[in-house]
Amino acid sequence: MTTSLDIPTLPLRGRRLIEAGAGTGKTFTLAALYVRLVLGHGGDAAYPRPLMPPEILVVTFTEAATEELRDRIRARLRQAREVLLGRADSDPVLDRLLADVADDAREQAASRLDAAARVMDDAAIFTIHGFCQRMLKRHAFDSGALFASELVPDSSALFASLVEDYWRRQFYRQSSARQRLLAQWWETPEALQQEIRLLLHGGRPRALMLGETLINAPASIDEALARLDRSLAQRDEALARLRELWQGAGDEITTLLREAIDSGALNARLFRPADLEARLDAIRQWMIGEHDTPDDTLWDTKGRLWCSSTRLEDGRKKNHVPPVHPFFEALSQFETLAEDQRDQLTRVRAQVLAHARDALAQALDQEKRRRGMWDFDDLLNSLDEALAGPAGARLAERIRRNLPVAMIDEFQDTDPVQYRIFSTIYALPQHTAALALQDSDPLVAGTPEAFELPTALLMIGDPRQAIYAFRGADIDTYLQARRHVDQRYTLDRNFRSTEAMVSAVNRLFATESPFQLEEIPYEAVTAQGRDEMFVEAGEPVEALTCWYMDQASSVRRDDYLDTMATATCADITRLLAGARRGETGFRSSDETFRPLRPADIAILVRTGSEAMRVRQKLLEGGIRSVYLSQKTSVFESREAFHLLQLLEACAHPRNDRSLRAALATRLMSDSLSEVARLEADELEWEAMVERFDGYHRLWQRQGVLPMLRVIMRDFDIPARLLARADGERALTDVLHLGELAQTASARLDGEQALLRWWHQSLAGRFDSGMDPQSLILRLESDDTLVRVITIHKSKGLEYPLVYLPFIADHREVDSKSKTLMLSDETHGASLIMQVSDEQRARADRVRLQEDLRLLYVALTRARYLCRLGVGPIYKGTARKDTPAGATTLSGSALGALLCQHGACSSLDTAILGEVLGALVTPGSIALTAPPSEPERNAAAPEASREVGRARRFTGRIDRNWWVASYTALVEGARQPGDMTRQARDAMLEAQAPGLDLEVLGETSPIPLPPVRRLLDFPRGPRTGTFLHALLEEIDPDRLGELATPDSPYHDELYRLIRQRVQRSTLDPHWVAVLHDWCCAVLTAPLHPNLPGLSLDRLAGWRTELEFWLSAQGVSSARLDHLVRQHEALPGVYPELAPRTLAGMLKGYIDLVIEHDGRFYVIDWKSNHLGDTLEAYDQAAMMASVVSHRYDIQYVLYTLALHRHLKSRLPNYDFDAHLGGVLYLFLRGMTAEGGRGVLYRRPSRALIETLDRLLTEGERALDDESVEPSSIAAGERA
């Protein structure tokens, strides 16, 4: 049962499906539900506790959509906060959501909303692939994912190499007869690869059907081909017999055939004289061994060879004798043999294809694992397999615990794998309980928490907009999910379009089964309406206008397309002319008028050829347009070839031929006569050579793009290109190609390498490191251009005026196609060979159902106005008895709807006119003739090409702004005995990035001490980084399990350490030492002054907390003076580097923990202070703090935590909530606790003073005297 959605009362538990029609506020609804989850709103319908953004999973299908959702949700959270505080206007939904917040709780609720808005950058809003990648990496042990896998956008090059390898291993070793047969099926590895790609979806094999029979892969291709050996031998014998006969009597056979045809003994319909020479030549080529099989032209539609005795006998005229020869009889025997073998050959071919499919799918998976690479399909498949594996229940439970609520946007575009992932993670309660009881993990199996954890799976989509079957989206999967939800809801109010437009769409789809699927009804929506209307000559017009070619006879498809392209151009020309007169545009309720602009108009098409047709008409009419669905590579443009010629000339300036070719391009000159004149003048030509020689030197010094920019300026290329009709397109391509060349040159060695790369790119062989998206043609300036876009690409967008000029056309399933894709409940999406008539008809029904959904998507893009092109099309060749008014329109989506309105199965011209006339509704739907060709003087005037003066920058760039850090502050802080700057720089250059630079000066002794204890662990930045990375991976919540040797985490930690050690250069014996140290030390008490505090008893924790602090012109000397006054430590302080903090101060805190309501900073220190535990006493650690200036570090960390808590905690108090800093010197820590840990708690006065200093600058303290605090002012240990 489907009910209308009420946002404030929707139960936020279980599985809910929200079906949101086009323009009904889906994103608005999603953002409002997000606010509910953050506030814990809803009473009994609420989620049991308020959630924060990192706990709410939102999944959509594009990166752009994730960013839009993130921004919209952040804005909604802030709006709700402002409404609670009385600082912003509300809306009816927010009024109801916030009405339940008590007056005394409004400030706390506002604070929570503010906190949620601030952490939206960490919100769990992902694409489906981003979500899978995050889960695989976060739960690497449960998922079995590799730690260091690299995500590659395209694995096609790897797949092609595997196909070639399969070709070599499997085909080369076959007998010559088998090889000839295989070559008939697939001439090249590329041909085999093309078919295999159809059989792999998402990296997984698809079913292969031969008619209704499933084809399973044989154990080897030899097993399949062996069945053909006898047949191949028989065929070879028959072919050898034919060639023997031809060799002995070829001229006689030719003469017999020519005489029979010339004398009229044979039927001219079967044996056309004009075809004689071509057929004889084809036989000759076959007989002399040019081909192993007859040319296709030698077979007729009945499967007979052109001059076989059987066909000659059927083709003889009455009272005539056909030519007789043993060759003709042998041909009949060959065709009979071929007929008998045809089914067997087809089956074996399918079996070989199935074997290649399975072998290549397995090889691709293994090779990607070996190389440590993922593509996007692997992300889905890996998580799907992990959830189905032995640790699947534990993995699903952990994901649910981290992300208890999931909202899946655009759910109609899901596929079986995606749905299985979410239905497994957010399984129905009984399924969750069963999985938990089966799990081998005692922490999961049998525990009520495993399946009593409340979860919610909210699926938001619209089955009427399921139009991406070609990407793998499966409407059947959506319908399956629809049947297994707790409740279905619908959004039934349209906020996009005018009332007239909504009424027109409702009227058109008001049939019994508009989408031809019982589970996808059309439910009429109401309209919110818009504040403005579209007017012509001051009067409103019908929202939906059908241009109808009203004539007695049907029309050919090309005539229909041409008529509607002309009509579109004429109508747009007329509307834009009215807009220039101030008559056509948008009038709001307060009588404000805005003229129509070209950018308000969108023309929706199905294919690139339709786009080309209508754009050409617009160009002829003087109307400029932009194609928004362009997928053509920029290297297919003519500018790519012209630029290659230019680069060749720059690389070889002394080569007259190259230089002449470059100057003759349309980039460099307006006419060839200019080049001829230049070449005739020896002095001018030499000057040009010298000029290009200079460009060559510029290329070598600065790069290819700076050189191209100079050439464009010197030869006035932008002006020359913009003078052309397609100038903006050409100039955009030139600039795009220049950027690509500059990017490629960064990894290529010299000009010749770049020229080779350019040649390969022109041939379509792109560098594997090149992002495919970067090659697609960029949009030229589209500010004042009519948009042309495919219906698929337009989904999710909206336009004031929409044209659907070719909507009555359709592309039925090809009746001649030997294969097609079709889904069924048993095998899913399958590739079918030997297609039956019933299967072809079923595939065409599926095609029509998707076309109907495409029609719905197209119509609902319009806000005010939509034009449809309707014509009585007849596609194909009509039979003699076909009535003149018959059409094939019923095969199109629009025709199918009209058939339902007219209660008929087909449409002729008379019925079509009647049905369209019955749909006419005043103010909503109109029926008119297509506009005719516009008058030339009515076309839009050419936009002015005058280029205005560039604006001057009058602002000021702060050259002193920079991003500082603790490392930058202490860099250069030296004491006697420190390494020299030269030595330090040399060591830095020799080390990899991301190392622990605090221990840069430490080196391990030679020889290394034995592997016994952490005190003996190798020293230096690499091992310091190793320890930091290892401790980042440890889960404090599970440290309590380490007390039990058989616990799962005890083994997981061992595997983690072993894997880390194996990837480093450490001695393998360190695995046991590090594991024992972690088990013993990480659960020990941390400090005697903090009783009860240990890492296994934390209320909360966060690793690698990043912070950014703004700094307003504070000198390092002032910062140093302030810290020394308040943190008086024994020893000689190194001076900080003389720098000014003007910009940002950034850093990462190793670990922030919460214990007994207080928050502490923990920093891991791998410093080597001595070879005994006694070397890690308080005095030694304090001396290390002073020598490394860790006092600066922990004071900045404390300030960062202070600001964070102040913005997050209600009623925050420094003394009550901020516990201090713990520096853990790892080498000196023991299982007894208390050793190797330095505890500091900077004073409140220091932190608050430093806060003001960084916020307001040094002037904040200029009028104050900062007194040093006593040691007692802060807790010291």
Which residues does the annotation place in the binding site for ATP?
A: 20-27
Looking at residue 1053, what DSSP letter applies?
H
The token pair that represents 889 in the structure block: 């329109």
Residue with tokens 């191949």: 232
Q: Which of 796, 825, 853, 812 is nearest to 469 (CA)?
A: 853
If DSSP codes are grouped into helix, strand and coil, which group holds residue 2?
A: strand
- The count of residues in the chain is 1277
- Exposure string of 1200-1227, with b = 16+ CB inside 10 Å and e = fewer, is bbbbbbeeeeeeeebeebbbbbbbbbbb
In contact, 639 and 761? CB cutoff 8 Å: no
d(C-alpha 646, C-alpha 732), whole Å: 17
d(C-alpha 408, C-alpha 26), whole Å: 12
Query: Residues within the annotated binding site for Mg(2+)?
Result: 1028, 1150, 1163
Q: Which amino acid is at 636?
A: E
Q: Which residues 6+ apart lie within 8 Å of 448 measured at CB?
A: none
Q: Which three-class secondary structure string do you get for 956-992?
A: CCCCCCEEECHHHHHCCCCCCCCCCHHHHHHHHHHCC
If DSSP codes are grouped into helix, strand and coil, which group holds residue 996?
A: coil
Q: Which of 12, 30, 24, 36 is nearest to 94 (CA)?
A: 36
Residue with tokens 């950018």: 599
In contact, 330 and 245? CB cutoff 8 Å: yes
Query: Residues within the annotated binding site?
Result: 20-27, 1028, 1150, 1163
If DSSP codes are grouped into helix, strand and coil, which group holds residue 628?
A: coil
1163 a catalytic residue: yes
Residue with tokens 């939509």: 866
Looking at residue 779, what DSSP letter applies?
P
CA distances from 1257 to 897, 960, 1124, 1262 (A): 71, 14, 19, 9
The token pair that represents 891 in the structure block: 């095969």
In contact, 1238 and 1182? CB cutoff 8 Å: yes
Q: Which amino acid is at 1078?
A: C
Q: Which of 1025, 935, 126 is nearest to 566 (CA)?
A: 935
Q: Angle formed by the axes of helices 1190-1208 and 106-118, to 10°?
A: 130
* Phi, psi for 397 (deg, rounded to 5): -65, -35
If DSSP codes are grouped into helix, strand and coil, which group holds residue 1036?
A: helix
d(C-alpha 784, C-alpha 579), whole Å: 13
- Exposure string of 826-854, with b = 16+ CB inside 10 Å and e = fewer, is eebbbbbbbbeeebbebbbebbbbbbbbb
Q: Which three-class secondary structure string do you get for 385-446?
A: HHHHCCCHHHHHHHHHHHCCEEEECCHHHCCHHHHHHHHHHCCCHHHHHHHHHHCCCCCCCC
Q: What is the dihedral of CA 1030, 1032, 1037, 1041, to 10 degrees?
A: 0
If DSSP codes are grouped into helix, strand and coil, which group holds residue 301?
A: coil
The radius of gyration of the chain's CA atoms, rounded to the nearest angstrom, is 38
CA distances from 829 to 204, 213, 519, 823 (A): 11, 14, 20, 4
Q: Which of 979, 1081, 986 is nearest to 1027 (CA)?
A: 1081
Active-site hit among 413, 600, 1163, 1191: 1163
d(C-alpha 1078, C-alpha 1041), whole Å: 12
Scanning 763-836, the segments in alpha helix (DSSP H) are 791-794
Q: Tell me which residues are annotated as active site.
A: 1163
